[in-house]
Structure 1
Amino acid sequence: MSSESYLIAQLISVQMYLYQIGGPIFMIIGSVSCILNLIIFTKKTLRKNPCSNYLIVYNLTNFLFIYTTFIQAVLSNGFNINYAARSLSYCHFTVYIGFVEDILSPFYLILASVDRVLITSRNALTRQRSTHRFAYICIISGTIFWMLFHIHALILTDIIEFLPNYFICYFNSNAYLQFTSYYSLDCGP
């Protein structure tokens, strides 16, 4: 075995152990922080502020990310359990939900930042735009927009035989792979 292949094998085992040990730790820490944030932002005093609506859906999105996308990465990279390579519908779902959750989390933070700009404006008319109704409209319309924008992931992914007897959930054409690569550079976190 050459030193190069030995190094590659070592790096693969390090990655596997990081996912096996670090993955569950990060899931626990992330879950606890999301739950604590939800408890704080759903208090009656904070619910009066429209910004809390954005932070509530932000934490809900992060919680869903932990238990849909991140757990899939931990299982496949740490424990070699890849459900997405066994079921085409699950393959479509995991890629789609990964795209949607990736964009929704920063989107809600941007909305919260815009709300803070509105509420701290010197202009009284601008301050009046920071309302619960406006927050709900932005959250619902933005979520629907991003869910529709990423509908391509439900259609253009497939289970591909990468190596003999080794299947992965991946994009089914080179053109779509290029699109997602450029899109990830532009819109990704």
Structure 2
Amino acid sequence: MEGRSLIPTALVLLVYLLTFLSFTYCLSEEQKQVVKVHNNYRSQEGATNMLKMSWDSGLENIAKTYAAKCIWEHNPERGNVGENLFVGTGKFNVGNAIKSWYDEKPYYTFETMGCAADKKCGHYTQVVWANSNKVGCAHYFCKTVEGLDLKDATILVCNYSPPGNYKNQKPYRKGKSCSECPKGYSCQGNLCSEYLFMQQFVSKHRLSTV
């Protein structure tokens, strides 16, 4: 009877997990790279509460619509989502673009939550914002870019949910990795993973559901 009582819960989790896995395998190689690069950087921070990121098609659609406008300023109509922008000429590589954001790390002082004079660090802090666990990006080749004296350039827009970069808040809590994960999450590669927990639950109870 105890085993049977687990059937509804296990089935719900199994359906949810299979839906997630099928969606993951439908991602393009570039989309997978975006998620992988973000998570690689996030896993290096030594954070107690860093969530693992996954792709979000809704955020991708926001990014795609705005990137096509070829404007070098933040999207004023993006709603309650975070946003990072990149622009460059020549051959575009999404991994290098995300790296340029993470490379702002030396300009950020964790204790004071401030940037070095005349430097930017908000792209870095958004990349490693602990509870920003959804990302969606798009890039567009622009003949000209409004707001910049550039021609034949590629704009990359990445949107994040929940958004980061709140004033007077640190991007994450320093300490032992995964030591303060939300309830129901498990540790995977120094990141708090909701989906690993579901996989473990289904695996643990698979014999009890037959």
Give the structure-1-normalised TM-score: 0.31
Higher relative contact order (CA 8 A, sep 6+): 2
Structure richer in strand, relative to its length: 2
